[in-house]
Structure 1
């Protein structure tokens, strides 16, 4: 079995809008009420996937869930026509596009039973995301039905779990045993801590991880207060490299000591606050990048175009690739519609280390498959959505029809009739 990293990107759904539903996500709240462009957003996501394929990486997809979520509204004893405006917006949210929040993934070399484990995130902190998990679970059970995988249901509330956005893995290579880092928040400050330590511990136990190779690390309260609502806004890991801001973690010295003890082969690339401030790192989404291993063994950092618009970040990236470190290439991608709602390149993908032959092939793509998906988006995704149209029955019908056309094209009809 050949284990490689597969990036499963969320296809940005036809209901993409700017309702400003996520306190603590500065971009989402700042852009609340703007006109959104779902077709443009989805095509930006397709272009990002084309870029990863061009780098020689394996690419997967996760289709959008049904929107509006009529089952969720029914559980609240209402329907879309009668629901209050805030419930309509929450039921229509396209936030499942950020696949980094879909689940936490532990590759087979780390687990006790030699299988790749996925635990779907409960996302209970935010109402508009709390109803995602049943559809995400059904999709993951379909994509990873092979015995090489174990797919788990969510940690129960009230223990908040936001998935891989608060989880990192360090290993000499993707297929080697590694150490897993679960990053959680703590109370205090103006914004809620979305990842609870108890949830992280439950996931680690379900995955059969070795406690001696599992770390539970607290995200800094300063980072959360500055708008780093997930750890992946201030840190990212890949293979033996941890790339982080010096203010990412509450006990920085303790983490350094743990890494020196457990992973002496690991390399820490840490940016000092006097070189790139926490505010600049968050504004540019420098760390919400895809740090990937290329076929030649070197690493590339896939960053949003906004990273070049912050002078200190731009200067740092130039110096980074000019040095002799493991990151030798910077790839810029345009995901501005996603960024305006608070999600960069890393938010849009779920990383799974597995043998591609064990994945349902309908969830893997090549350039031709992306052409087919792009054609559906061009034909059926709304061009624009204003907040005032969220209750429009004609818009709802178009959104539902667009998703159905996509799933028919992909051959994943089971998800239409679920």
Structure 2
């Protein structure tokens, strides 16, 4: 009996108070010790379960997007965190959310480098230039945040995002506008409603400018309305079609043009090549009417995809290096100022028309360089008390990365492009909401 009593008296008061549920007195009894595993175990439970649930859900969804596209973790994670706070669910501070996101990205990127076969698919000039430029831009973004109020800065970023989305999807927007105008004007413009999409229609259908429109469409980017490289095997009005240029032949050509334009996505899905076209392959591989033009371009497109980014972007090293430097610096600047650094990279990949394998491989290499940890350590933002949250977020992020990698195998290029567009729209909404004061992406102290 006496040895048992001696053992009970030897228990530190902090443990007894913690077991009784009074964490504040337990911390006081512990003498303010904040380092070491004992303090971690005592203070790790000070966050309510809602913090673990919201942050783990955010990094899980974010890493699913990361596994599919190669980026998007911060956008979805901060969206989840902001939504929870908007509905009155306590999800912790922004500092806790951002560092949890960094933990999930760091843990998830290591397997993604191998899952995405970055050695084979990464665009090397971008993989070299973007991390270096981001490391330079991030401190300048933090300095910019000290000089400029965050809300006007986020409003400017939101406006730039809207402009860039309009520029990227200008051809698809023009096609939608032509189709709406044709519906109002009685269908007279039906034959060339899809001229902006780069499709050369049947003789008498789209007119003589269709070929020019298609030949200049090498910068086809992320499709807003899922416009595809159309094939029209069912159109028999090719080079040896119906002969005359008017009457029933012209009407048939117009109808066939519209049918091919509207049903092109389904036809391309059956062929297995849809979505954003790398510039090396170009839209010339499939633009045109008739079986001859469609089949003539198929080997070229297949050869371009099989050759990989190494040969696809051969001879453009310094051009891509300069583009990656500009995008990386902008990404670091934006990330240091707002905590979201994905939009410049989205614009870059969309401008290049890169295939999903190249985007995932390059993004995996770029995300391996998590230089923000130096700033976290230098500013004293890391705490043992938050370690359980970071571990939970890392585990959820790993599961999300595995789920995203499995999901991307079921996606073609068109669906991949749709996910990219959705992430850009979500980022625009996030920045706009923060600029309007509905949510807060930057702490008052300037830590993002």
Short-chain TM bin: under 0.3
With normalisation by structure 2, the TM-score equals: 0.25
The structure, 1 or 2, with the larger RCO (C-alpha pairs under 8 Å, 6+ apart) is 2
Comparing both structures, which one devotes a greater share of its residues to strand?
Answer: 1
With normalisation by structure 1, the TM-score equals: 0.26
